[in-house]
Chain A
Amino acid sequence: MHELSIARNILELVDATCHEQGYSGVETVRVNVGKASGIMTDALVFAFNCAKDETLSVNATLEIHEIPVGGRCRECNSDFISQETIVLNCPRCGGAAFEITTGHELEIFELEVDG
């Protein structure tokens, strides 16, 4: 259950940002989670809700934006997006010489805050 550690990290970062910028509470925390990051999104929401007491996010909802796995193939020179969690071959040409460019994200990108 590393989702609990991840949730605690999110709550700490949000609290730190709110203290820095003078916000008193949070309504929504929006995060990007790549499909290849190894995070179970349901477990992350569950962990967030368990851990949010006594933080500025106590009334907040965690909103997860899942980012698909994407890559750039050096054999057919195309960019691709996959619905899979792992990509072993370029979906266009079947080649193996590609780089994964998206799908490992794990970041907070937006908060809805009270003034």
Chain B
Amino acid sequence: MKVKMVKKILEANDRIAAGNRALLANHKVEAVNLMSAPGAGKTTLLEKTIRALDGRVRIGVIEGDIQGTHDAEVISGLDVPVVQINTGGACHLDANMISDMLQEMPLDELDLLVIENVGNLVCPAEFDVGESAKIMLLSITEGDDKPLKYPLMFQKSEVLILNKIDLAPYLDVDMEKIRSDAKKLNPDLKIFDLSARNGQGMEDWCRWLEDKVKSR
């Protein structure tokens, strides 16, 4: 016997994500979902961002990793609330994992929650976790073919950060191609060029983040 049904497969995830979003809004916490490939420099960017916004924005961090605690240790050295999720093999964070972690977070003492997703350019874009913006970090060392190879993440992100621009003179990478392909996929995409290592361009990014928090 045939039974017709129409069920969005990610319905359960999306329902929990909506709950997370409401909880964060009640506590007036802005949440960003930081996504990138492994090695793009998410943890360094986050570390420098937290230092730059010290005293201006109260930041908490949910650190997602397939395994290990190295990144969480780096961040907790900065004296901000941090909780770690080990996905045990899963390539992304989902709304349910975040929902559990929000119980551990002192939400009333925060302005901004940064969710550092698992390093992967495909899967994290698929799962809403209740964030108010997805931020994609791409290291220019990854090459200029990434937007067309992994379109979904570029389409779903509000901001694209091109990291490691201090290495541009040593690489055979066409940054304008990255920008124009990314803009074709997502005309509203906001792009920041920066080097988390030497601090170049960090100010613009931090100002954007601070403005986002203030306008919540």
Contact = CB atoms under 8 A, between A and B. Distances in A.
B8 A86 contact: no
A86 B9 contact: no
Contacts of A13: 7, 9, 11-12
A109 B127 contact: no
Given A1-B91, A86-B151, A88-B184, A9 B12 contact: yes
Contacts of B126: 2, 37-38
Contacts of A96: 184, 187
A6, A10, A13, A86 — which one has the most chain B CB atoms within 10 A of its CB?
A86
B171 interface: no
Contacts of B181: 88
Contacts, number: 81
B7 A108 contact: yes
Interface string A1-27: 110111001101100010001010000
A92 B10 CA distance: 33
Contacts of B151: 36, 85-86
Interface of B: 1-13, 90-92, 94, 122-123, 125-127, 148, 151-152, 181, 184-185, 187
